[in-house]
Structure 1
Amino acid sequence: MRLLGYARISTASQDAQLQLDALASAGVESRDVFSDVTSGSKTAAQRPGMRRLLDYATPGDTVVVWRVDRLGRSLIDVLNTVNLLTESGIAVRSVQDGIDPATTSGRLMLNMLATLAEYERELIVERVNAGIAAAKASGTRFGRPPVRADVIAEKLEMATGARAKGKTATQAAELVGWSRATLYRHQSAAAAQTVDQQQSPTT
C-alpha cells in the first residue's frame, strides 16, 4: 500500500507549503505528491495533477489530502472524486478533517458527506426548476427556435426531387439534413395543408 498526496491551490500567489507539510507529516513521500494550481471552476477530473494521480494510483493505495475540500470545488465535486477513487479500490484520508475510511468515525464522515451532497443536488434541481418556471411566466421561450416555413418548403422540394430521381427516403432526408421521420412529418403536414387549401371557400 502506498500513500499518495494531493494538494491544490487556487492561484499561483497562494502557498501550498502548509498542505505539503501536512502530507509529509502523514507519511507521504515528496515524490508521491501530486498538485494543481487551478481555479475552482474546474472539476477535479479536469485538473492535470488529479488526472496524473488517477493514472498513477492503483488499488490498495491511499490518497492523502490536507483537507477534503482540496478534492473538489463543491461538496458534490468532492464526493464524486471520493467515489471515483473508492470505486477504483483507492482509499481517501483527510488529515485536517479526520476522514479515514479505515476508522469507524472516518466512514461516518464519508456517509455524512454523501447525505449532504445529495441534499445539495436536490436544492440545485429545485432552484433550476424554479428559475425555468419564472422565466416561462415572464414569456421566455425554451428549446430550438422555430424553423422558417420557407426553409422547410425549400428542403421538402429538394427531398422530393431526390426521391423522383430514385433516391430512398432515407437518402433524400439526409441530403437536406433531416431524418427519414422528419421528412415524412413535413410531407404529411404539406399534404394536409394542400387539402385544407383546396377545401377552403374562395373569396
Structure 2
Amino acid sequence: MAVPVEKIGYARVSSSDQRLELQIDALKKAGVKEKFLFTDHASGSGLAFKREGLLTALKLLCEGDTFVVWKLDRLGRSVSELIKTLEIIRNKGANLQVLTQPIDTTTSHGKLFFHMVAAFAEFERDLIAERTRDGLAAAKRRGVSLGQKKKLTPAMLQKVVDLRRQGKSYVEIASTLSKNSKTKVSKSTLYSYKEQIEAMLPFDLEEVETDSN
C-alpha cells in the first residue's frame, strides 16, 4: 500500500521578540497537520543549539512529501548550513515550499531552485577538495612531514563522501575501497579524514540517517 504524501512543517525563532505562533498559524493555513509540525526556539548565542525539531522533521520526511517553512532562513543560519539542509530535502526526494517567498519545488519553476542548490553544493565540495590539494602541496613545499597517514586521492575522497551519502559506515567504506584499490584503506585512515568528509556532507547526517559506523 502506498505511503500517503504529507506536508511536514517547521518553524524556528531565534530571539524573544519573534513570535512562533505567527509561523505556526501560517503553516497550518498551508495545510500542515498539527502532528507534523516541528519547532525550535534558539536562545543566547545559539552555539550549542542542536535544532532537535528540524532533525526530527527531516528524519520523518519521505519521498513525495513537502517540507514547508515560513521563510527560507529558517533552514540554516549560514549559506553553507542552508545548502546542506536543502540537499537533505532534495536527496530524500521531497519538495520544498516557502510561504513568504516564491519557492515551491512542486512547480516547474520551483524545480529549477533545487537544480541551483545542487550546483552550489557541488561547487562547495569542489572548493573543499581544491583547498585540500593546495594545502597538502604547500605543506610538501615547506618540507612539512605529514607523518605516516595514508593519503586519500581526491577521487577516493569523493568516493567516500558518495558512500557516506548512501548511509554506509566507515567500516563498510574501508572494506569497499580496499577491494577496489591496490592500497588497503583502513577505518583509522578514514577517521583521520572524518572532519573533512563530514564537512562535505549535509549537516548532522549521522543524526538524520541511522549509521552504526
TM-score normalised by the shorter chain: which range applies?
0.5 to 0.7
Matching of residue 113 in structure 1 with residue 82 in structure 2:
no
Matching of residue 82 in structure 1 with residue 67 in structure 2:
no
Distance apart, 1:93 and its partner CA: 1.4
Contact 1:7/1:20 (<8 A) preserved: yes
Contact 1:23/1:65 (<8 A) preserved: yes
Tell me which structure has the larger Cα radius of gyration: 1
From 130, 140, 143, the counterpart of 2:144: 140
- Look up the SS of the partner of 2:67 in the other structure: strand
Describe the shift of the 1:92–1:40 C-alpha distance in structure 2 as closer, same or farther (beyond 3 A).
farther
Q: Which aligned pairs between 1:119-198 and structure 2 lie closer than 5 A?
A: 119-144=123-148
In structure 2, what is the Cα distance between the partners aligned to 1:72 and 1:51? Answer: 12
Specify the code of the residue in structure 2 equivalent to 1:142: L
- Look up the SS of the partner of 1:142 in the other structure: coil
Distance apart, 1:111 and its partner CA: 0.8
Distance apart, 1:108 and its partner CA: 0.9
More deviation, 86-95/13-22: 13-22
Percent of paired sites with the same residue:
38
More deviation, 55-64/32-41: 32-41
User: Which 5+ residue runs of structure 1 have no aligned equivalent?
Assistant: 146-203
In structure 1, what is the Cα distance between the partners aligned to 2:57 and 2:69? Answer: 12
Between 1 and 2, higher relative CO (CA 8 Å, sep ≥ 6) is seen in 2
| 1:104 corresponding residue in structure 2 | 108
In structure 1, what is the Cα distance between the partners aligned to 2:47 and 2:102? Answer: 23
Describe the shift of the 1:143–1:78 C-alpha distance in structure 2 as closer, same or farther (beyond 3 A).
farther
TM-score (norm: length of structure 2):
0.50
User: Which 5+ residue runs of structure 2 have no aligned equivalent?
Assistant: 150-213
Contact 1:99/1:107 (<8 A) preserved: no
Describe the shift of the 1:98–1:14 C-alpha distance in structure 2 as closer, same or farther (beyond 3 A).
same
More helix by share: 1
